[in-house]
Amino acid sequence: MDMLNVTIDGVKVSVPAGTTVLEAARKANIHIPTLCYLKDINQIGACRMCVVDVGARALAAACVMPVSEGMVVKTNTPAVRAARKSVLELILSNHKRECLSCVRSQNCELQKLAVELGADETRYEGANIEYPLDAISPSLVRDPNKCILCRRCVAACRQVQQIGAIGAVERGFKTQIAPAFGKNILETNCIFCGQCINACPVGALKEKDDTDKVWAAINDPEKIVVVQPAPAVRVALGEEFGMPIGTRVTGKMTQALKRLGFDKIFDTDFAADLTIMEEATELVDRIKNGGALPMFTSCSPGWIKYCEHNFPELIPNLSSCKSPMQMEGAIIKSYWAEKAGVDPEKIVVVAVMPCTSKKFEASRPEMALNGMRTVDISITTRELARMIKSAGIQFAQLPDEECFDELVAESTGAAPIFGATGGVMEAALRTAADWLEGRSVENVEYKALRGIEGVKEAEVTVGGLNLKVAIANSTGAAKRLIKKIQAGEATYHFVEVMACPGGCVNGGGQPIVDASTRMDVDPRVARAAGLYAEDEAKTIRKSHENPDIIKVYEDFLGKPGSHKAHELLHTTYVKR
C-alpha cells in the first residue's frame, strides 16, 4: 500500500493513498468541523464547514480533498476560521432557532458548532420562507424550517436504502428537502425506517412523539399498562445517559420502567423465542411440502412495507409470522389476560422499540385481535430516555437487577441476537437444526451469519439437508439480492432482511450518534457486540428449550403452527 506523508498544522502524519484531508487530520488528532459529511454515507463537500488551507488559491473542503505527497495543510488560519464562521452564520440566518424546545437540543451538530465557533446568529438576518410541518404519518415528523440542506438524509434514503422518498426540490433560495410533487411523507413509498433521522445533524427530522399517550395511560386508574422492551433497546438506552456505545443496561432499563409506573414489565425477547417456534415450523413445512421458497423473514416492518411497495410478487414468500412485538402484544391480551383474570379491553400494551417503523406497524389494520390493537403504543428508545429524564430518574445510579414479570418474559440466548443483522437467521437455525436432526445439535453459533456486510450467504448442512441462506443488511442490499434471485443467479431456502443497516441495533429510533463519533466508532458493531454477549451469558440458548415457551404451547397454543397459533401469531400483507 502506497503511503503519503502530509503535514497538518505542523504535525507530520503518514496515511494511505486515497485518504482525505479530513481523515488524515483525524489520525493526527486534529479536529476539523463538518456538517454535510457522514462517514460512508455522505461525502459531497457541500456545506463548506470543513474548509482548510492547502496552499491553493481557494480554500478546499477537507472531506473530499485527497492528500498528496508533501502536502502542507493549515486548519486554523484567520481566513479558515472566518470562512467557517461566515458559512455557519448564513446557515443560522435561515434556520428555525428554537433550541430550548427542540428534540435535538444538546445533541445538535449545528448548535455545537455555533458554540465552538462563536457564531452570531443574527448577523445575516433576512427573509425566510415558512414551510408547513409534515406530521401526518404515524412514524415521522419533517420540519423543513429546521433543515440546513446538508443532504445527509437524502444520501441515507437514496444510496443506502435505495428508496428515494425525499430529495432536493425547487432551486436557489427556495430549495428544500422534501418528497416530490408537494406530497407529504405518508403519500410516498417511505418505509419509515428512520435512517434519515439518524443521519440528520439537526432537528429537521424526528420520530412522532407518543410519550404523552403513555403518560396518560399510566395515570389512568382504569388501565393496566404493560410495557415490553425490544432486544436492541437494552444495548443503546445507556448512551442517552452518558454510557459507552453498546453498554448492556437490561437491569437498569427494567428498574427505570418500574419507577415510571408501568403495571407489568414483560420482555419482547420472550416473543422473539416464540417467533422462532413459528418461523422455524413454517420453514421446515415449506421445505418438506413444497411451499414458496425462499422464505423471507417478517420481523422488520420497514422491510415488509418495502416489499409491499416494490416487490409485491414476493408477498407469498414472506413468512406469515407476525413480528415479536406483535406476537408479544397478542399473547399479553389473550394468554396472560386469561391467566391473570384481566379484561383485555383494559390492557394498554406499550412497546419500546429501536424502530420508528414499528409505530406504523402498530397502526396496521392486520395487527388487530378481536377488534383491539395488540400493541396500543410504540415508542422509541429515544422517547423512553426522555420519559426517564423528565421523571427525574438517575438512570446511571439504578441497580442492575432485572425485574421482568413472570409468565411471558423468560427468554433464551437466541432472543437478544434478533436485534443484530443475521440474528433472526441464526436463532432460527439453532431450532431448525435440532428439529431436522432429531437431536440437540451442540454448535449453536453460526458466526458466518454475523457482521455488517451488505449481503451475506452461507450453506448449512442439517438433517442431511443443505440449507442455503442469505442475509440482506438494508433495503438497498435487499434490492440487490432480490434482483439476483429473480435473475436465476442464486437460489436460497431462507432469507433474512433487516431494513436498517446493521439491524435493529441501528434502528431509526435509537440514540443519535453524531458524525464525529461515527468516524471512530461504528454503533452497529458496538451495539451488536452487547447483544451477542447477552446471548453467551444465557444458560439456555435455543428458543424451543425456553420453559415458558414450552408452557405457553402446552397450556394455550397447542403446538407451533396450530390453528390457534395462526389466529394469534400470524398475519397477511398487501400490495401497495
Asked if 190 is an active-site residue, the reply is no
CB 379 within 8 A of CB 352: yes
Which sign, positive or negative, has the C-alpha torsion 496, 497, 500, 502?
A: positive
User: Of residues 108, 193, 299, 321, which has the active-site annotation?
Assistant: 299
Residue ranges in 441-556 assigned as alpha helix (H): 475-486, 515-518, 523-537, 547-552
| Catalytic residue check, 239 | no
Catalytic annotation on 361? Answer: yes
- Grid coordinates in use for 450? 454475523
Please report where in the chains the cell 432485572 appears, as a residue.
Answer: 402
Q: What are phi and psi of 570, to 5 degrees?
A: -120, 165
**d(C-alpha 91, C-alpha 149), whole Å:** 9
Active-site entry in 23, 207, 240, 282: 282
**418 touches 424 (CB < 8 A):** yes
Cα–Cα distance for residue pair 510/240, rounded to 1 Å: 9
Catalytic residue among 308, 504, 542, 543: 504
Q: Which of 137, 298, 300, 319 is catalytic?
A: 319
In 3D space, the residue among 261, 233, 265 whose CA is nearest the CA of residue 249 turns out to be: 233
Query: Pick the catalytic residue: 23, 109, 279, 383?
Result: 279
Concerning whether 437 is annotated as a catalytic residue, the answer is no
Q: 366, 406, 453, 554: which is the annotated catalytic residue?
A: 366
For 382, half-sphere exposure in the C-beta direction (CA atoms, 13 angstrom radius) is 21
Measure the CA–CA gap between 457 and 276, rounded to whole angstroms: 20
Residue 246: which region, alpha, beta or left (left: phi > 0; alpha: psi -120 to 50)? left
From CA 168, how far away is CA 133, in angstroms rounded? 17
Q: Which residues pair with 351 in a beta bridge?
A: 228, 378
d(CA 233, CA 256): 13
Paired residues of 334 in beta bridges = none
Amino acid code (one letter) for 35: L
From the list 252, 322, 358, 542, the catalytic residue is 358
Options 89, 308, 361, 534, the catalytic residue = 361
CB contact burial 89-128 (16+ within 10 A = b; e otherwise): bebbbbbbeebeebbbeebbbbbebbeebebeeeeeeeee
Is 457 among the catalytic positions? Answer: no
Q: Establish whether 334 is a catalytic residue.
A: no
The question of whether 130 is a catalytic residue gets the answer no
Q: Is 321 a catalytic residue?
A: no
| Catalytic positions, written as ranges | 279, 282, 299, 319, 358, 361, 366, 504
